[in-house]
Amino acid sequence: MNETLLYPKNTNTRGLIDLSGMWKFKFDFESKGESLNYKLGLTDTIEMPVPASYNDLFTEKKYKEYTGDVWYEKRFYACSSWKDKKVNIRFYGAIHKATIYINGIEIGTHIGGFTPIMINISEYIEYNKENIIICKLNNELGLDTLPVGETKKIKSGLKMSKPYFDFFNYGGLIRPVKLVILPKESIKDITLVHKVEKDTCITSYYVDAPENLNIRVDVYDENGVYVTEGHGYKNQIIFNNPTLWEPLKPYLYKFVFKLIKNAEIIDEYPLEVGLREVKIDGTEILINNKSIYLKGFGKHEDSIINGRGENLAVIKRDFELMKWIGANSFRTSHYPYSEEIYNLADKEGFLIIDEVAAVGMMKSLMNALDAASTNKKEDPYFDEKIVFEKTVKNHLNAIEELIRRDKNHPSVIAWSLLNEPDTVSSEKAVEYFEKLFNFAHEQDLQNRPCSFAHLMNSLPDKCKCTHLTDFVMLNRYYGWYLKGGYEIDEAIDMLDAELKGWERFNKPVIFSEYGADTLLELSKLPSSMWSVQYQVEYLEKNHKIFDKYSFVKGEQVWNFADFETSEGIIRAGGNKKGIFTRDRQPKMAAYYLKKRWEELPLNYKATN
């Protein structure tokens, strides 16, 4: 379906029309939309903002918790000047399954709510007339969906999401929808690979475009000054004494790719490029052959009212807070984020561990507790027949789309292929993981390191899949879910003992999650769990253990900000592990982390 996942841009040859705004919207409680031909147009609708999650916009719980089909409608006018163009519609994010209709004709179905849908609609639209877009979305969860969970019916007859993950299952058109107008012959894809050695960077480029035409690449520096050029569908550009893209010191060259036919430029695509190389060497994470220590967060796309909907103001605020606190990285837990976040990370010099929406591959409706247990009762997810019949296909497709979308971002330094899967209960996990890791390395010509976030029972002597990783990501809650409060010192001793077991792998270890819930209004002396003081003490004690081990090369606190979850007895208005509140104000722990991170050098614990 997706001929191209290049980020859409306005150029001399390309056009964009933003369809964001208010759309007609309809809940389909009785799943009658198909039989009633909603695809031809909606009646009895309400207005719905796009982009946004619909859940938090209402005052009735049946809408907040809605599970099932919803329908969106938008009309647009097609200009006759588009007849000689390729007219595409692009949904930047549609949760979780989308079926698209143009003028009553089904034109495509897409599974996966966090990567774009791009469909050529040229043959379906009527020119000089109004056209109708209908989008049917479904947010139901199953063992084959990403993310993973269950869908059940409650006594009222309504469907209910039962996620195997600890964040709210928001729905809707969470990112913009745009018409992308391209030339009939256009550039489909661009792939860059950088090799940095001493004072030189060799950048190889590969262009996917119609054959038997000419390609020229003009390169400019940040001031718009011409640097060099390249020719051909694939070639190398050699930079002598370049300004490299470095963590927190970004520098972006501008590559302008031009498709030429009969001496005429028929398509043009500009790409901001950071020259940098990522490698793993023993226990070192190297950016441009220099050791890096990751300081930062697990995050969520989550904000008040908008839910998971793209919110540019929140994106900007988050980056300002991360700069203020001294962070240099984050993980896109637990799904690919809005492309605007990656674009800004490129410009700000932040490092991203980019994660597929493969969360919940451990059967548990009490995920937060079971994931933190070192003795979870076995109920193997990977033994389910559907996992190898359907889930793996969806998973591989999600990896392909993620890498194709994000491969040229200098900020993306690694891929996380799963979060907290069950790697202990079944040998079949190994077969499943091998497919993922082999495929990811084949897809990424930059060969960025790949990993997955280990849950608590994925210990060094129990996890069956660690050997497939390039570095180790640990989600650990010693002192919170395990032996919290007065027993925290015993918990920290257990963390210390576990880390000794990871040393034999000779790989970098990153703490991809660790944290403690905190209520901003609760202050206690002596501290107690949920108090602002306890959150600081928890972090201090964990960091003392991190600092002991040279192979620990990163700490990403869970979580950047408080976020919404399903309701339950261990959640009071969501997950409160944020270092910032949900409205982006600092807790006491933020000032502690700011002091620590500002004092830690970028190459902390470097051995090279």
Closest CA to 345 of 316, 314, 382: 316
pLDDT digits (tens, 9 = 90+) for 303-322: 999 999 999 999 999 999 99
Report CA dihedral (328, 332, 338, 341) to the nearest 10 degrees. 0
Question: What predicted TM-score, i.e. pTM, was given to this entire model?
Answer: 0.96
- Checking if the pLDDT of 367 tops 70, the result is no
pLDDT of residue 438: 98
pLDDT digits (tens, 9 = 90+) for 411-451: 999 999 999 999 999 999 999 999 999 999 999 999 999 99
pLDDT of residue 133: 98
Cα–Cα distance between 528 and 180 in angstroms, integer?
55
Structural domains in the chain, CATH included, are 15-183 (2.60.120.260), 189-276 (2.60.40.10), 279-599 (3.20.20.80)
pLDDT of residue 364: 75
Stretch 215-223: mean pLDDT: 97
Token pair for 410: 């200098």
pLDDT digits (tens, 9 = 90+) for 504-528: 999 999 999 999 999 988 999 999 9
Q: Give the residue numbers marked as catalytic.
A: 420, 513
Cα 166–170–171 angle (5° rounding)?
150
- Residue 376's pLDDT band (cuts 50, 70, 90): low
Which residues lie below 8 Å from residue 550, measured CB to CB, with a gap of 6+?
283, 605, 607
- Residue 568's pLDDT band (cuts 50, 70, 90): confident
Q: Dihedral sign, CA of 352, 353, 355, 360?
A: negative
Cα–Cα distance between 278 and 247 in angstroms, integer?
11
pLDDT digits (tens, 9 = 90+) for 440-492: 999 999 999 999 999 999 999 999 999 999 999 999 999 999 999 999 999 99
Does residue 137 contact residue 28 with C-beta atoms inside 8 Å? no
pLDDT of residue 377: 60
Separation of CA 549 from chain center: 29
- Residue 363's pLDDT band (cuts 50, 70, 90): confident
Q: Dihedral sign, CA of 549, 554, 557, 558?
A: negative
- Percent pLDDT > 70 in the chain is 97
Average pLDDT, the chain: 95
Cα–Cα distance between 600 and 214 in angstroms, integer?
49
Choice among 118-127, 365-374, 419-428, 485-494 with the minimum mean pLDDT: 365-374
Cα–Cα distance between 507 and 437 in angstroms, integer?
16
pLDDT of residue 607: 84
268 forms bridges with which residues in the sheet? 258
